[in-house]
Amino acid sequence: MQPIKILEGVAPDAIPQSVLVSPVPLVLKGLVKTWPIVRAAEQSARAGFDYLCQFYNGELVNTAIGDANNAGAIFYNQDFTGFAYERARSLLTGVYDNIHNLQASGSARAYYVDSAPVDFCVPGFRAHNDINLAPFAPRVSLWMGNKTIVSAHHDIPDNIACVVMGRRRFVLFPPAQLKNLYIGPLDFNPAGPAISMVDLHNPDFEKYPRYREALAHAQIAELEPGDAIYIPSMWWHHVEGLMPFNLMVNYWWTAFPSYLGSPQDAFTHALMNIRSLPADERAHWKNLFDHYIFDSNPDNTAHIPQEKLGVLGEVDEMAARRIRSQLLNRLNR
């Protein structure tokens, strides 16, 4: 594995555009080290947690509580009929004690709060602990837990993840390593997005031989409190909490307007109706996708009058609404 490139001296209110459009991951060393919550946590994890809770409004958060033998992994159960944890809705104020009690009992069970919306659960937190991503309007979330492990998965948005307490290890794989990561079911998965089926720490190369190639392209970083990592869209990332109590704040955003919808919807629809076509028809559709989407350029439509381009031209919000309405009508037939 190669280390992820480190950038020093990036300020939370002046993140360079070159970072936000980087095609490769970057460690932003000390990006949020001046956050009040990071400074509070320097006294103790409890002090940092208490600082967070002063903003808490009582909304319940999603928790995952692992099986007794899952050793921190947010993963499938042994017979692949479900997952190695139970879901619950919990008060944020009880999370620290629940994690502390598990540690005191010697249990390695995972305890995980995932994607708790900051503005909804701890309003006011970002007035004192934030980064500037203007003109984007990011989705900001809390991730909290003990020594949890989430297998390699990817997200559609770009991501800056800020370690506030504890330490986290990130192992990243380029999008092109999809075939070598042995991704599990797309619509039956323990982490939201689909995950790699391979145990990073104990890979079964007989069962997953191409995983050696994935590891050859892997990049790794361990982040301390105050550090952050930029993860470009669609990069696979395996994430581990390394301390008894870990807290991370992440920022998701997309460079395309929200009114255009998610590429995931187009992908899911293609799985349903293009994948099942005969091979020659799939080849025709691949040619169409390449021509109009993946290899799109102005020369492809230069022969069409500008005012008649329709969906081949620039799609503004009004046009997007019209196209979406047409799609809904066709899908509902």
pLDDT at 194 exceeding the cut of 80:
yes
For residues 283-309, average pLDDT: 92
Q: How far is CA 188 from the centre of its chain?
A: 17
Question: Which position has the token pair 């280390």?
Answer: 3
Question: Is 260 exposed, middle or buried, given 0-12, 13-18 or 19+ CB atoms closer than 10 A?
Answer: middle
DSSP 101-148: HHHHTT----EEEEEEEHHHHSTTGGGTS----TT---EEEEEEESS-
Q: Are residues 138 and 238 located together in one domain of the fold?
A: yes
Which of the listed residues 218, 253, 288 is the one where a domain comes to its end?
A: 253
Rounded Cα–Cα distance for residues 310 and 324 (Å): 14
* 164 lies in the same domain as 265: no
Could you tell me if 99 and 187 lie in one domain? Answer: yes
Do 102 and 146 meet the contact criterion of CB atoms below 8 Å apart? yes
Q: What confidence category does residue 205 fall into, taking pLDDT thresholds of 50, 70 and 90? A: very high
Q: What is the pLDDT of residues 158-178, one digit of tens each?
A: 999 999 999 999 999 999 999
Q: What is the pLDDT of residues 103-113, one digit of tens each?
A: 999 898 999 99
- pLDDT for 308 equals 86
Confidence grade of residue 45 (pLDDT, cut at 50, 70, 90): very high
Can you give the CATH number for the domain in which 183 is found? 2.60.120.10
- The string of pLDDT tens digits covering residues 29-41 is 999 999 999 999 9
Instruction: Enter the tokens of residue 160.
Output: 């800056």
Domain identity same for 242 and 290: no
25 with 84, same domain? yes
Q: Do 199 and 319 reside in the same domain of the chain?
A: no
Main-chain phi, psi angles of 2, to 5 degrees: -100, 145
User: Are both 165 and 192 inside the same structural domain?
Assistant: yes
**Full residue range of the structural domain in which residue 80 is found:** 2-253
Helical axes 95-104 vs 45-53, angle rounded to 10°? 160
Q: Among 229, 253, 277, give the residue marking a domain's end.
A: 253
Predicted confidence (pLDDT) at residue 69 exceeds the cutoff of 80: no
Residue 75, phi then psi, degrees to nearest 5: -145, -175
- Position 255 scores a pLDDT of 87
Q: Are residues 283 and 221 in the same domain?
A: no
User: What is the per-residue pLDDT for 191?
Assistant: 77
pLDDT at residue number 129: 98
Residue 293 DSSP class: I
Identify whether residues 243 and 298 lie together within a single domain.
Answer: no
Distance between CA atoms of residues 199 and 233, nearest Å: 23
Burial of 306 per CB tally in 10 Å (0-12, 13-18, 19+):
exposed
Question: Do 219 and 80 belong together in one domain?
Answer: yes
Stated pTM of the model: 0.94
Q: Which of 221, 253, 285 is the last residue of a domain?
A: 253
What's the total number of domains in the chain?
2
263 and 205 in a single domain? The answer is no
Cβ atoms < 10 Å from Cβ of 97: 11
Whether residues 18 and 167 share a domain: the answer is yes
pLDDT at residue 113 in the model: 96
